[in-house]
């Protein structure tokens, strides 16, 4: 959050004192000013909130019992906006219960009134230190992330580090480049980044998805056509090669390009010249080609569907992006990157992830690779309220493969038995948390609790007892 400093920053930090009692406010601010802090005061939570943007305190000292917005409500409001602000609550008597609630809601500490000024100065100094450490850690993390990235392309794993190291040279060169990797590993992002850091950056970057168009259209998109060359279109049309002159053309899903076009593309790569469909004129353009494929082109060559000579022409430089499961150390780096990105879009600041959330992120296979991770974090940012993303904020699909499902033999099993098994084994996996189990199973907590009651009251040795007895059997 940007803040305007009207005078030189004080040595020891800024404290906002909020109390409805004017005498208490005065006494506190005097003690704090003497201690070397810059102090502002407010008479209740509303006025306190109003002072935050301009004063930009490092620490808030607030009374709990106040008319209007009380200390707890004020605390919640602060944490829904800025989460790096330390809040110490004060309370007129040893009202431990409210103080404990405040601690649970994220207060840094509480002090009982009448305040002992020595305790006050110790607690304030300690919290100021923590705030400073937290900020330094934040700055350090940002600097590390910078070191592990090339513009938006992030990666700290050895695999990604060697890709990042190559980038300046690859961007400077005009050689054709083939990027391979599973879906969602970042092929398109890599191609864009290379273009943006190349001498061609000011010229166009165009994309053509080779699997999306049938042959005559794909040919026309790539090379253009003269009027009358295509039945449905009138007039001459420029192709992407010509439009990208001076820049970069990204050919995505290159494995899908049909054989006749493979020959034409090969000729272009060798001679930098081509003709439009139905045209005689030879056009010369300066285009760097970057191709991408999530299919193994060598397999396509073996099957006879991809020309080997074209492969070598495209594959002058090859970058293979490993799947996310093969570079586990990138999971956290990327997760932090996306957390900052989506957090700042939503106006939320996060410290990171809870231990359980980290366990789930690290224990998952990520079949959809970085794209899936990005979506999971975007999802969590919407749900998360605290300074840390918890396991509950992540999509239910993210986590280690559920255990124990193999034990139920489906054919012939009754729905109730399957459900019972699913509920009990999920509860085992969540160590009894009905909330987590409900999320994993897509059921309501109430339904699970209701079922548990049923299981407890049902005789265990008769699992096939009909749920509803025929009315003739029930005694009246």
Ligand X SMILES: Nc1ncnc2c1ncn2[C@@H]1O[C@H](COP(=O)(O)OP(=O)(O)OP(=O)(O)O)[C@@H](O)[C@H]1O
Q: Cα 336 from chain centroid? A: 7
**247 binds ligand X, rule: CB under 6 A:** no
With CB atoms as reference, the residue minimizing the distance to ligand X is 186
**152 binds ligand X, rule: CB under 6 A:** yes
**188 binds ligand X, rule: CB under 6 A:** yes
**333 binds ligand X, rule: CB under 6 A:** no
Give the nearer residue to ligand X in terms of CB position, either 167 or 429. 167
* Cβ 208 to Mg ion shortest distance, Å: 12
Give the nearer residue to ligand X in terms of CB position, either 151 or 169. 151
**Bridge partners, 312 (sequence order):** none
Angle made by CA atoms 393, 394, 399, in degrees to the nearest 5 = 140
**367 binds ligand X, rule: CB under 6 A:** no
* Cβ 378 to ligand X shortest distance, Å: 10
* Cβ 370 to ligand X shortest distance, Å: 3
Q: What gap in Å lies between CA 73 and CA 136, rounded to an integer? A: 29
Map the footprint of ligand X across residues 266-295, applying CB under 6 A: 294
Closest CA to 286 of 273, 267, 298: 273
* Cβ 182 to ligand X shortest distance, Å: 7
Q: What gap in Å lies between CA 85 and CA 79, rounded to an integer? A: 8
Q: Say which residues have a Cβ less than 8 Å from residue 39's Cβ, sequence separation at least 6.
A: 14, 15, 16, 17, 28, 29, 32, 33
**153 binds ligand X, rule: CB under 6 A:** yes
**188 binds Mg ion, rule: CB under 5 A:** yes
| 253 Rama sector, left if φ>0, alpha if ψ -120 to 50, beta otherwise | left
Q: Which two tokens stand for residue 161?
A: 């580090």
Give the nearer residue to ligand X in terms of CB position, either 134 or 207. 207
Sole window of 27-35, 59-67, 81-89, 147-155 interacting with ligand X (rule: CB under 6 A): 147-155
Nearest-10 crossing angle of helices 96-104, 71-81: 10
- Is 86 buried (19+), middle (13-18) or exposed (0-12) by CB count in 10 A? buried
Map the footprint of ligand X across residues 376-435, applying CB under 6 A: none
**181 binds ligand X, rule: CB under 6 A:** yes
The residue from 15, 32, 52, 370 that contacts ligand X (CB under 6 A) is 370
**351 binds Mg ion, rule: CB under 5 A:** no
By DSSP bridging, strand 224-225 and strand 237-238 are antiparallel
**Bridge partners, 319 (sequence order):** 179
Counted residue by residue, the chain has a size of 476
Sole window of 91-99, 176-184, 218-226, 228-236 interacting with ligand X (rule: CB under 6 A): 176-184
**372 binds ligand X, rule: CB under 6 A:** no
Which residue's entry shows tokens 């850690």? Answer: 137
Give the nearer residue to ligand X in terms of CB position, either 13 or 184. 184
Residues at the interface with Mg ion (CB under 5 A):
188
Residues at the interface with ligand X (CB under 6 A):
152-155, 181, 183-189, 294, 334, 337, 370-371, 374
């Amino acid at each position: 959050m940007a803040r305007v400093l009207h005078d030189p920053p004080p040595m020891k930090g800024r404290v906002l004192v909020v109390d409805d009692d004017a005498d208490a406010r005065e006494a506190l601010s005097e003690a704090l000013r003497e201690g070397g802090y810059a102090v502002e005061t407010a008479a209740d939570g509303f006025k306190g909130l109003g002072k935050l943007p301009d004063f930009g305190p490092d620490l808030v000292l607030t009374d709990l019992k106040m008319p209007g917005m009380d200390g707890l409500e004020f605390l919640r409001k602060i944490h829904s906006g800025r989460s790096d602000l330390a809040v110490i609550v004060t309370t007129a008597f040893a009202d431990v219960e409210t103080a404990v609630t405040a601690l649970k809601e994220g207060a840094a500490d509480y002090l009982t009134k009448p305040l002992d000024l020595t305790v006050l100065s110790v607690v304030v100094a300690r919290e100021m230190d923590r705030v400073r450490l937290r900020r330094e850690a934040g700055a350090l993390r940002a600097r590390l992330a910078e070191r592990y990235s090339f513009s938006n392309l992030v990666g700290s794993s050895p695999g990604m580090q060697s890709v990042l190291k190559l980038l300046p040279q690859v961007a400077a060169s005009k050689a054709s480049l083939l990027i391979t990797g599973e879906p969602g590993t970042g092929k398109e992002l890599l191609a864009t980044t290379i273009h943006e850091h190349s001498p061609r950056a000011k010229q166009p970057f165009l994309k053509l998805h080779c699997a999306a168009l049938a042959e005559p259209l794909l040919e026309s998109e790539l090379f253009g056509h003269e009027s009358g060359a295509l039945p449905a279109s009138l007039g001459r049309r420029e192709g992407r090669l010509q439009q990208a002159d001076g820049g970069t053309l990204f050919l995505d899903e290159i494995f899908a390009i049909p054989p006749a076009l493979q020959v034409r593309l090969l000729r272009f790569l060798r001679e930098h010249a081509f003709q439009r469909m139905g045209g005689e004129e030879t056009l010369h353009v300066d285009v760097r080609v970057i191709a991408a494929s999530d299919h193994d082109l060598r397999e396509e060559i073996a099957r006879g569907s991809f020309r080997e000579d074209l492969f070598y022409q495209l594959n002058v430089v090859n970058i293979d992006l490993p799947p996310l499961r093969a570079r586990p150390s990138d999971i956290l780096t990327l997760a932090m990157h996306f957390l900052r990105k989506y957090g700042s879009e939503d106006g939320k600041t996060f410290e990171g992830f809870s231990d359980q959330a980290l366990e789930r992120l690290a224990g998952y296979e990520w079949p959809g690779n970085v794209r899936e991770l990005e979506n999971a974090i975007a999802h969590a940012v919407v749900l998360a309220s605290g300074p840390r993303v918890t396991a509950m904020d992540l999509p239910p699909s993210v986590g280690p493969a559920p255990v124990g499902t193999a034990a139920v033999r489906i054919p012939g099993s009754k729905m109730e038995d399957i459900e019972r098994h699913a509920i009990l084994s999920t509860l085992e996996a969540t160590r009894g948390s009905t909330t987590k189990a409900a999320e994993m199973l897509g059921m309501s907590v109430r339904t699970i609790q209701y079922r548990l009651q049923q299981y407890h009251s049902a005789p265990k040795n008769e699992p096939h007892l009909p749920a509803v007895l025929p009315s003739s059997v029930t005694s009246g």
